[in-house]
Structure 1
Amino acid sequence: MPGASQPVGRRERNKQLKLDRITAAAHELFAERGIDEVTTQQIADKADIGTGTLFLYAKTKGELLLLVQNSLYAEALERGRADAENIPETLDAVMAIVRPVVECNRTQVDNGRVYLREMVFGDPAEPHHHEALTITGQTEQAVTAVLRRDARVSEADAATTARVVSAVMFLAMAASVNVAASVDEILRDIREQIAVLLRR
């Protein structure tokens, strides 16, 4: 039958099962102990694979963190987009997008900060880094869409403003001075900066 999808072969299924085990093991260990307290050997042992096999899926611990966190960030962004759709006020709608991303980042503070560092300084051609940057771009697109609700705001201005919002959010989450800050404190800081930006 033309157009019917081909069944996934055994080799591909096995690869996906290994990737799922690696992701689950890394997620559990990183959540329990934080990235700095977990070794790749521990992740491999928990996933019941050899370290050589582990490195076929992620070359470093940072890439493993990206593998785990990317799906969590993508889910957070989708929640934020859905919430923003029902909020007419621009600042509140932007913050509806920002909130779940910040909450995701602060679930385990050290992991969140390392994730941001890996995203910025990692190789953008590496698939997990590329995916993280794609999520950042999607976040900016979601903010752009909110800003474009105002017909007076051009596409170019909305996109530029969204990039500034992204930078504000990134710095608030990554800054050393905010290591001990609560989610609400970080969100309040972000909101104050975005409010000034939107008043221009």
Structure 2
Amino acid sequence: MSSVPQPAGRRERNKQQKLDRITAAASELFAEYGVDEVTTQQIAEKADVGTGTVFLYAKTKGELLLLVQNANYSGALERGRTDAENIPDVLEAVMAIVRPIVRCNRTQIDNGRTYLREMVFGNPDEPHHAEALNIVGQTEEAIAGVLRRGGRVGEADAATLAHVVSAIMFLAMAATINMARGVDQIEADIRGQVAALLPH
């Protein structure tokens, strides 16, 4: 029996190409106009597919935003993890993980806030929603890993603290009062709260 992976069939390639076109179209339109101003019909036209085809890949516009943003957030988390590896100070390492996620969220503020709302209140049975929650879990695992360094914080406490850090970060990004604040201000606010949490 051969262990060499077989190339994807024509049907699978066509599906992937449509998904890529839909993702690219939604990403471009959301970035330019904001998710609230874009219709699924516009996305379908830009992707050169029927509206019904769009709904095969994402049942709602919120799910389309999750599809687009999940890739961005995964990339931001990966950059943060990489940066944190070489930073010995725990607070600085945690902020290295948080920083690119905040910057990703603030690229288009309304889209970032809508993404967080969809993540919290969307249908967890939808695949893109489930993927978003998985990214949150990975973020918390990365933060917990930093907090466990040197054995100052135990496994359970690190997981709890990481969950709290995640909540602080998401509230800072989603809060209406922070809409006009810059990235540096939001990061400073998060940093102050995280510093107060960490064992001294």
Which residue in 2 is equivalent to 1:183? 183
Which residue in 2 is equivalent to 1:194? 194
Q: Separation in 2 of the partners of 1:75 and 1:141?
A: 16
Aligned residues: 200
After TM superposition, the structure 1 = structure 2 runs for residues 151-162 of structure 1, keeping only pairs within 5 Å, are: 151-162=151-162
Q: Separation in 1 of the partners of 2:88 and 2:46?
A: 47
Where does the alignment leave 5 or more consecutive residues of structure 1 unmatched? none
Which residue in 2 is equivalent to 1:94? 94
Q: Separation in 1 of the partners of 2:45 and 2:152?
A: 57
Q: Separation in 2 of the partners of 1:150 and 1:113?
A: 36
Deviation by residue 1:77-117 (Cα, 9 ceiling, x = unmatched): 00000000010000000000000000000000000000000
After TM superposition, the structure 1 = structure 2 runs for residues 102-141 of structure 1, keeping only pairs within 5 Å, are: 102-141=102-141
Q: Separation in 2 of the partners of 1:122 and 1:85?
A: 33
CA RMSD of aligned residues (A): 0.8
TM-score, with structure 2 as normaliser: 0.98
Deviation by residue 1:21-40 (Cα, 9 ceiling, x = unmatched): 00000000000000011010
Which residue in 1 is equivalent to 2:49? 49
TM-score, with structure 1 as normaliser: 0.98
Q: Separation in 1 of the partners of 2:153 and 2:197?
A: 13
Q: Separation in 1 of the partners of 2:199 and 2:18?
A: 50
- Runs of 4+ that moved beyond 6 A: none
What amino acid sits opposite 1:80 in the alignment? G
Q: For residue 180 of structure 2, give the secondary structure of its aligned residue in structure 1.
A: coil
What amino acid sits opposite 2:171 in the alignment? L
Where does the alignment leave 5 or more consecutive residues of structure 2 unmatched? none
- State, as a whole percentage, how many aligned pairs show the same letter: 74
